[in-house]
Amino acid sequence: MIPRGEALPLFVIQVSVGVGGSFLAAVFASEAFLHGGFFVPFAIGVFLGIGLSVQTFGRVRFTRYCLATLVWLAVLLLVGLP
């Protein structure tokens, strides 16, 4: 059981791991979408690896991680990448 004073910092860490991990996976996926080739299997590996660590350490459900990654990917593609 988590002591009462430590619940909020732990929650913030879990959320930041989830948001940061999904953003990193979206960056790799957008690069793979734009450039193709070698980046596609690398992006899939990054997506799965980060998803595993986000689920383990951040306690974020994999479906939420996938949804967050798709939202970040849409934002990145709409804004445009150099």
Q: How far apart are CA 47 and CA 22, in angstroms?
A: 8
For the segment 64-69, the average pLDDT, to the nearest whole number, is 86
Q: What is the pTM of this model?
A: 0.76
For the segment 32-52, the average pLDDT, to the nearest whole number, is 84
Q: How far apart are CA 46 and CA 33, in angstroms?
A: 14
Q: Binning pLDDT at 50, 70 and 90, where does residue 19 land?
A: confident
Name residues whose C-beta falls within 8 Å of residue 14's C-beta, 6 or more positions apart in sequence. Answer: 57, 58, 59, 60
* Look-up of token digits 């988590």: 2
Between the alpha carbon of residue 69 and those of residues 2, 4, 8, 30, 54, the distances in Å are 29, 31, 24, 10, 12
Q: Binning pLDDT at 50, 70 and 90, where does residue 32 land?
A: confident
Q: Binning pLDDT at 50, 70 and 90, where does residue 3 land?
A: low
